[in-house]
Amino acid sequence: MTAAVEFQSVSRHFGPVKAVDSVDLTIAEGAFFAMLGPSGSGKTTCLRLISGFETPTGGAIRIFGEDVSATPPHLRNVNTVFQDYALFPHMNVRDNVAYGLMVKGMGRAARLARAEEMLALVKLDGYGDRKPAQLSGGQRQRVALARALVNEPRVLLLDEPLGALDLKLREAMQDELKALQHRLGITFIFVTHDQHEALSMADSLAVFNEGRIAQIGTPAEIYDRPATRFVADFVGSSNVLPPDLTRALGGPAQWASLRPENTRLAASGPVTGTVTALRYLGSGTRVVLDLGGTEVAALLPAGQPLPEPGAALSIAFDPAALHVMGDAA
């Protein structure tokens, strides 16, 4: 099976700034793929390289096996849901949705009928005559989604699709996007800076840092076995242990990560430190210890007795929970 999107040492440099630097990436057909990273990490530039609004300064991009280096955006069978939706303000919702079909030459009656079907799919039946300015943020996003999907693209790109929505709407939309992708079988690629969103929606993801990919894998792999200190820290705020501390705790002399939820407090142990902070989280309490200059957090389930700040304690954990990482930052 050919990959939906393939990057072969792709770079996009803006003068001295390496927005994307020699990235290799393969996204399988039918995947729900996330690009996760802080702002400025290159994830959005990667999305724009796929849609064609940026051109690589090095390397090659293939979409379903075809090199797209000479293909302008309008001839790529790829559509985008823009972050600010970018709906056409002078057209009503129906004409917005039918736009892609119109410019490809479909007749008026046929394309408007298709637009209505698409609006029904995103649960906006009856909104066809409204102008974008008359819609709420969530409704606008559905229009943007319908407008992209009506073209039946082979790849759908979503730029921070849930960023502008409030929490409740965001959770509902996560489920809906997932269901829609499952039903249509189109490859979805979305960009986000929110690790919860990426972990819960994607079936595989790439974590970006400073123009490069730090790790690619399934959400479970990335969460449980972060490849670098950056991934461990950015995805789920793991404890990052320097080599000497890892060895003192019984591991090899290498960088390692340890999830707070796998960490317990112990009265004594190989390394003792002092409790510096307690944070009540509802489902539990996060206790932070200073272990010889390294901050290590342990998540105590609700109901356990809490230590006093300043108390001298150590930590304990199941050796299998200690994940040893390479040397990479």
What part of residues 77-96 is at the interface with other proteins (CB under 8 A)? 77-80, 82, 84-90
Instruction: Work out how close the CB of 117 gets to other proteins at its nearest, in angstroms, rounded to a whole number.
Output: 13
Q: For other proteins, which is the closer residue by CB, 83 or 200?
A: 83
Angle at 86 between CA 153 and CA 133, to 5 degrees: 125
Among 16, 39, 70, 220, binds other proteins (CB under 8 A): 70
Q: For other proteins, which is the closer residue by CB, 185 or 303?
A: 185
Q: Is 256 within 8 Å of 248 (Cβ atoms)?
A: no
What part of residues 33-52 is at the interface with other proteins (CB under 8 A)? 51-52
Dihedrals φ, ψ of 209, to 5°? -150, 120
Instruction: Work out how close the CB of 106 gets to other proteins at its nearest, in angstroms, rounded to a whole number.
Output: 9
Does residue 163 belong to the site contacting other proteins (CB under 8 A)?
A: no
Q: For other proteins, which is the closer residue by CB, 100 or 226?
A: 100
Does residue 140 belong to the site contacting other proteins (CB under 8 A)?
A: no
> What DSSP element (H or E) covers 205?
strand 204-209
Among 20, 31, 124, 148, binds other proteins (CB under 8 A): 148
Among 59, 73, 242, 270, binds other proteins (CB under 8 A): 73
Instruction: Work out how close the CB of 299 gets to other proteins at its nearest, in angstroms, rounded to a whole number.
Output: 42
Does residue 175 belong to the site contacting other proteins (CB under 8 A)?
A: no
Instruction: Work out how close the CB of 101 gets to other proteins at its nearest, in angstroms, rounded to a whole number.
Output: 8
The pairing of strands 155-159 and 78-81 is: parallel
**Cα four-point dihedral sign 73, 75, 79, 81:** positive
> What DSSP element (H or E) covers 49?
helix 43-51
Instruction: Work out how close the CB of 81 gets to other proteins at its nearest, in angstroms, rounded to a whole number.
Output: 10
Dihedral angle at the C-alpha atoms of 227, 233, 238, 241, nearest 10 degrees? 70
Instruction: Work out how close the CB of 177 gets to other proteins at its nearest, in angstroms, rounded to a whole number.
Output: 18
Q: Is 134 within 8 Å of 92 (Cβ atoms)?
A: no
How far CA 289 is from CA of 132, 257, 286, in Å, comes to: 52, 15, 10
Applying CB under 8 A, the site for other proteins has a residue count of 38
Please list the residues that pair with 189 across neighbouring strands: 33, 157
Does residue 303 belong to the site contacting other proteins (CB under 8 A)?
A: no
Cα-trace Rg, the chain: 24
Q: Is 270 within 8 Å of 248 (Cβ atoms)?
A: yes
Instruction: Work out how close the CB of 152 gets to other proteins at its nearest, in angstroms, rounded to a whole number.
Output: 5
The span of 13-21, 57-65, 192-200, 263-271 binding other proteins (CB under 8 A) equals 57-65
Instruction: Work out how close the CB of 223 gets to other proteins at its nearest, in angstroms, rounded to a whole number.
Output: 32
Q: What residue spans of 134-288 are helical by DSSP H?
A: 137-149, 167-184, 195-201, 219-224, 229-234, 243-248
Does residue 100 belong to the site contacting other proteins (CB under 8 A)?
A: yes
Q: Which residues bind other proteins (CB under 8 A)?
A: 51-53, 55, 63-66, 68, 70-80, 82, 84-90, 99-100, 102-104, 147-148, 151-152, 154
